[in-house]
Amino acid sequence: MTTSSTKGLYQWTRKLHLYTGLFISPFLLVYAVSTIYLNHSMRPKPVDEAQGTVPIQLSEGIEGQDLVNSVLDQLGLSGEIAGRGQVRNNQTVIRIARPGTVKVVTVNLQNQEASIMERSTGLLGAINYLHFNPGLHRVPNWGITKFWGWLADTMVYITLFLTVTGVYLWMVMKAERKTGLIMLGGGVASFVSIILAILYI
Amino acid sequence: MSKGTAIKGFEKWNRKIHIYLGLFMLLFLWLFSVSGLFMNHPKWFHGKMERTPEDHPVTYEGEMDPVARAHDLKEQLGLEGELLLRAQRNPQKFFFMIFRPNHRFGVSVDLATNVATINNVKPQTVGVLADLHTFTGTRAIWNEPVQERDWFMTRIWSFSIDAVSIGVIIMVISSLYMGFKSKESRRWVVGSLAAGVIVCSFFIWGLRAF
């Protein structure tokens, strides 16, 4: 490769490293801060607020997903839905989650009414929600969560890109080579020894 | 020291810290990124877990609180890992789990015969990645009455998780400073950061309004 094309590659890599890094910096903060909270099992303190009871019209014998859809349509609610519309004692409970808030709808089929309670989990609840969704046991059913999942994947690819370009940019700088090698070696040694110990000790 | 020299010194060290932290955390970042990607796609987790049951005689004597009892049995059985002890459901048995990312030992002691049945469950490689991603020793999902890290490796791993998170926060802050000080186009610097802030804020705060 000629000197000018090497210089061009370096400059483009530097620009991309900077711009993509700045773009994902708020996302990285969301993941890093929520990780610290999750690592210490800190849960948000939810604040419950009853939002009243409203009349709804439900056809006789309705249950399952049809019941859930009918209730949500009538109440104009959307979000990540938990609750399959199973009816017990003429009641069913549907939870509609969004980052930082969960609406709990208790439907009484006999009285044809729905009581709504809003549980607010605040900023911590919102970032924990985003950290967890989608996840191992959470296949998203809300379009927005699916979109967040796609964004989360993109963040992973950008993070990997940033690490690779970061290594390239460091290798080009002769002044930082020695200390950088010590840091890289130290990191690799720490990682490998911790992983080996945690898996095989 | 003049103000200009101090700023120059700060900029130099800000850049160095960004580089050194990034290099030190390289493999940790790869692990948490790739495992996070796998966890976003549960369908990628195919393959069954390997389960091997084994019976061992144990000594089960005297009064002990459940946590001390589980530690005693863990030592008798030569198992290593984080202790997971939930409420006992069967009065004829004493049950606990020993958990580590590549093994889950379910230990059930039959109190009538003093025989411990160890169900050794080995996850697939992607399962090990997911377990490393979440191995904090105090997960709310485990619902333990006493939530504490009782295996020294759990403490080390948990410390590593905190250290990587703090490292990432420092890298983000240092990159913001470098971004605004760089000679690159100010429009692109502000634009890329603003785009990230707007999208992220929409998910954190915006969705509550609609």
For residue A126, CA distances in Å to A94, A179, A187 come to: 19, 39, 32
Is the domain of B53 the same as that of B109? yes
Whether A141 is covered by a domain: the verdict is no
Is the domain of A27 the same as that of A51? no
Per-residue pLDDT of A22-31, as tens digits, reads 999 999 999 9
Q: Do A198 and B130 touch (CB under 8 A)?
A: no
Is the domain of A11 the same as that of A36? yes
Residue A165 has pLDDT above 60, yes or no: yes
Q: Considering only CB atoms, which chain B residues are within 8 Å of A51?
A: none
Per-residue pLDDT of A94-130, as tens digits, reads 999 999 999 999 999 999 999 999 999 999 999 999 9
Whether B129 is covered by a domain: the verdict is no
For residue B167, CA distances in Å to B18, B59, B99 come to: 9, 46, 27
Q: Do B203 and A99 touch (CB under 8 A)?
A: yes
Domain ends where: B98, B123, B148? B123
Mean pLDDT of A186-194: 98
Is the domain of B53 the same as that of B117? yes
Whether B138 is covered by a domain: the verdict is no
Is the domain of A35 the same as that of A63? no
Domain span at residue A78? 47-120
How many domains, chain B?
2
Q: Considering only CB atoms, which chain A residues are within 8 Å of B14?
A: none
Is the domain of B118 the same as that of B54? yes
Q: What angle do CA A59, A64, A65 make, to 5 degrees?
A: 95
Domain ends where: A81, A104, A120? A120
Domain ends where: B73, B97, B123? B123
Whether B58 is covered by a domain: the verdict is yes
Whether B142 is covered by a domain: the verdict is no
Domain ends where: B123, B143, B177? B123
Whether A135 is covered by a domain: the verdict is no
Whether B177 is covered by a domain: the verdict is yes
Whether A189 is covered by a domain: the verdict is yes
Whether A133 is covered by a domain: the verdict is no
Domain span at residue B168? 3-41+159-208
Residue B163 has pLDDT above 90, yes or no: yes
Q: Considering only CB atoms, which chain A residues are within 8 Å of B104?
A: none
Is the domain of B23 the same as that of B54? no
What pLDDT was estimated at residue A141? 87
- B12 and B20 Cβ atoms separated by less than 8 Å: no
What pLDDT was estimated at residue B141? 67
Q: Is A189 exposed, middle or buried (0-12, 13-18, 19+ CB in 10 A)?
A: exposed
- A129 and A99 Cβ atoms separated by less than 8 Å: yes
Percent of chain A with pLDDT over 70: 99
| CB proximity list for B16: less than 8 A, separation 6 or greater | A176, A179
ipTM value: 0.91
pLDDT band at residue A83 using 50, 70 and 90 as cut-offs? confident
Residue B158 has pLDDT above 70, yes or no: yes
Disruptive mutation site among A136, A176, A179 for chain B (greatest number of B CBs within 10 Å) = A136
Q: Distance of alpha carbon A50 from its chain centroid, rounded? A: 27
A171 contact B CB<8A = no
Whether B59 is covered by a domain: the verdict is yes
Is the domain of B11 the same as that of B78? no
Is the domain of A107 the same as that of A161? no
**Distance (Å, whole) CA A84 – CA A40:** 32
Q: Do A25 and B25 touch (CB under 8 A)?
A: no
Whether B104 is covered by a domain: the verdict is yes
Q: Is A65 exposed, middle or buried (0-12, 13-18, 19+ CB in 10 A)?
A: exposed
* DSSP H helical ranges for chain B: 3-24, 26-40, 66-77, 125-134, 152-181, 186-204
A36 contact B CB<8A = yes
Going by C-alpha positions, the residue among B140, B208, B32 that lies closest to residue A37 is B140
Disruptive mutation site among A19, A20, A123, A200 for chain B (greatest number of B CBs within 10 Å) = A19
What pLDDT was estimated at residue A107? 94
Q: Do B189 and A18 touch (CB under 8 A)?
A: yes
How many domains, chain A?
2
Residue B187 has pLDDT above 60, yes or no: yes
B156 contact A CB<8A = yes
Is the domain of B77 the same as that of B58? yes
- Compute the mean pLDDT over every residue in chain B, rounded to the nearest whole number: 90
Quote the crossing angle between the two packed helices A3-39 and A143-172, to the nearest 10°. 130
Residues 115-134 of A with CB under 8 A from B: 123, 126-127, 130, 134
pLDDT band at residue A2 using 50, 70 and 90 as cut-offs? low
Is the domain of A54 the same as that of A98? yes
Residue A4 has pLDDT above 90, yes or no: no
Whether A172 is covered by a domain: the verdict is yes
- A102 and A110 Cβ atoms separated by less than 8 Å: no
What's the sign of the alpha-carbon dihedral B162, B167, B170, B171?
negative
- A145 and A80 Cβ atoms separated by less than 8 Å: yes
- B82 and B151 Cβ atoms separated by less than 8 Å: yes
HEC sequence for A162-194? HHHHHHHHHHHCHHHHHHHHHHHHHHHHHHHHH
* DSSP H helical ranges for A76-106: none
Whether B15 is covered by a domain: the verdict is yes
B147 contact A CB<8A = yes
What's the sign of the alpha-carbon dihedral A49, A51, A52, A58?
negative
